[in-house]
Chains A and B, each alone.
Chain A
């Protein structure tokens, strides 16, 4: 029971969750921006792909910093190692898929 009341007290004392609200607004803005760029045909395809990729990366950063507590840790920062590995694998998957699906560069989309 001791633990339970601690949890409730911590919850009551913390005030409005500003970090979450800012993160929520930012993530919605980034999503809507990408949607508008695509639906409105705001750019030619090549810069469009590049821009929405950049927005996607920013979105990842927002999620990590505002919601996933990347800066908080007790003990060794295992999550940073996992994220580093994650970046390596994501790059491999995205770059690899583009390489493969353009048949090693022989097909221009």
Chain B
């Protein structure tokens, strides 16, 4: 091999680490397997027509769900690698640089490429069905959002085998993330991957905000909406205002890195702390973006499986909206130790304590909903029950951290690590898994197996406490985050070992969830009624899975828990209204343009990562062409004729 080519390839492909060679081999094998299966069973056309070009919110939701689970796997493996390295003093499983890369990708992937798509999966799956709509307000934009997320995540994940992973932490603070201290493409991958998927997140926020305000079924006033929709509305308000700040912060850092500007550099008038400030103006609202939808899911699950209407509906709404606003006034608690002075720190400490109050209100409301209810312990309910003590502990340690003087002790210690894992896993991940088990039959037409699901829950839940409670202790003993090695004799060995064991128990829990999915595809209980849980909200009035137009007739709503009321009325034998005649349904057409548009974004991003601007120009030109094409495309929708509707409805056994 000529020396030039050899130099080039060793800088392009990451070499030297057996773990990464293993990943190279498995990526190639999996890709070949996918290509083989698609070709062998002639599924390329099906893939393109049914999935890659779809604008159907249910399919987009399913794709988000699959992507989130894959990213949960990758982020989880990163976590296990870190826990393995820390299991015992002086371990040499990972080297320092590799460890830095892994904690960076673990954090970034878990927040932006696991939690975000997971909540978007739930938005897409449940919101239009719950408000009695046939799709979201902007179905084409919805497809663009998904593919932007997908290609942003794909770009970011490429860093592992091509060019090298980012290693400045998921917060990517300058000056460490600036060019002089961090040459190479790694940080560029971080900046571009987040930027591309971030555009998609803003679009999703706007899309669901408009959907909820404008597309509700007649009679469904805001105060009759299911609480999940309220939680999505609150999360969308935060997304719309928070994500642009991240966009700006990342763009300025990128300009620093590739165009030699001085926004965040150490010298020439730059101010690195300004990035920290802007990052957390987004970063703190972000944690509420991912946890509010989880709160919404818990509200649905608790009401359904207690057979009671939710306790304190209006206080639930008020507390979610309060959280949405107050979340903008707490960001400095991530950098109290910058030392902005007593005035600044006191203000943000008090704001942080205040935001715990609406959350506490919600916890009491869930408990009161269960009080004297007829509780069924199903898997979604188990995750909800597991969440409550978990979030109570996480919330309490959060209030401890909010005390600014005390934070100088806790800051960046394992106490903090344990705290935010407790709220993010105990809140968001438990919530999303509860939602996944709850809406799975609606999406796929069969239930996930309850026995395996409960095993998975107990492994995960017990593993969670075994993993993170010792981290509070070891944090008090002085262990800080992001250390990759520690000497014996500090008393850190035993808590770290226990914590690692807990992490592996959670890993077993994840494998059991996957096993549950695989088992249930074959043997899961089929859902023939469309209402397997005896639900309360409109999505359960449809067949499972619902037809692509969702509602043949848009339902009329005159109370909260609309479907429950309809069932009660039917049970009491009250006369049902004569169903209206079917009318043609106006539907959006599928389009391949969102996919192509986002491939173009990927190409442009890849060009910026390696400073190969030819790629950037080609990519951005293609983006412009796609936008132009859409602007002059008037052939975007069609009507489903009544005969076809009758045919579909008859096939579903409904009239």
Chain A residues in the interface with B (C-beta under 8 A): 1, 3-4, 7-8, 11, 75-76, 78, 82, 85-86, 89, 92-93, 96-97, 99-101, 103-106
Contacts and interface: CB of A to CB of B under 8 A. Distances in A.
B329 interface: yes
A93 B273 contact: no
Interface of B: 209, 213-214, 237, 240-241, 245, 271, 273-274, 277-278, 281, 325, 328-329, 332, 339-344, 586, 634-639
6 interchain residue pairs of minimum CB distance: A104-B341, A104-B343, A104-B344, A7-B634, A100-B340, A4-B634
A93 B281 contact: yes
B637 A85 contact: no
Contact of A78 (B213, B274, B329, B639): B213
18 contacts: A4-B635, A82-B240, A85-B237, A85-B325, A86-B241, A89-B328, A93-B245, A96-B329, A97-B274, A97-B281, A99-B344, A100-B277, A100-B332, A101-B273, A103-B341, A103-B344, A104-B344, A105-B343
Given A99-B344, A100-B332, A103-B341, A3 B237 contact: no
A99 B278 CA distance: 13
Contacts of B271: 101
Contacts of A103: 339-341, 344
Where chain A touches its partner, the secondary structure class is helix
A2 to B, nearest CB: 8
A89 B274 CA distance: 18
B277 A101 contact: yes
Contacts of B329: 92, 96
A85 B271 CA distance: 29
A84 B317 CA distance: 20
Contacts of B344: 99-100, 103-104
Contacts of B281: 93, 97
Given A100-B340, A106-B341, A8 B240 contact: no
Given A4-B636, A7-B634, A92-B329, 17 more contacts: A3-B637, A4-B635, A82-B209, A85-B237, A86-B241, A89-B241, A89-B328, A93-B245, A93-B281, A97-B281, A100-B277, A100-B332, A100-B340, A101-B274, A103-B341, A103-B344, A104-B340
A1 to B, nearest CB: 8
Contacts of A99: 344
Task: Kindly name the residue among A1, A11, A89, A92 whose own CB sees the greatest number of chain B CB atoms within 10 A.
Answer: A89
A26 to B, nearest CB: 22
Nearest to A7: B634
A99 B332 CA distance: 11
Nearest to A74: B214
Nearest to B285: A89
Contacts of A4: 634-637
Task: Kindly name the residue among B237, B245, B341 whose own CB sees the greatest number of chain A CB atoms within 10 A.
Answer: B341
B219 to A, nearest CB: 15
A1 B273 CA distance: 56
Contact of A97 (B237, B277, B586): B277
Nearest to B332: A100
A82 B234 CA distance: 12
Contacts of A7: 634
A70 B53 CA distance: 33
A7 B344 CA distance: 54
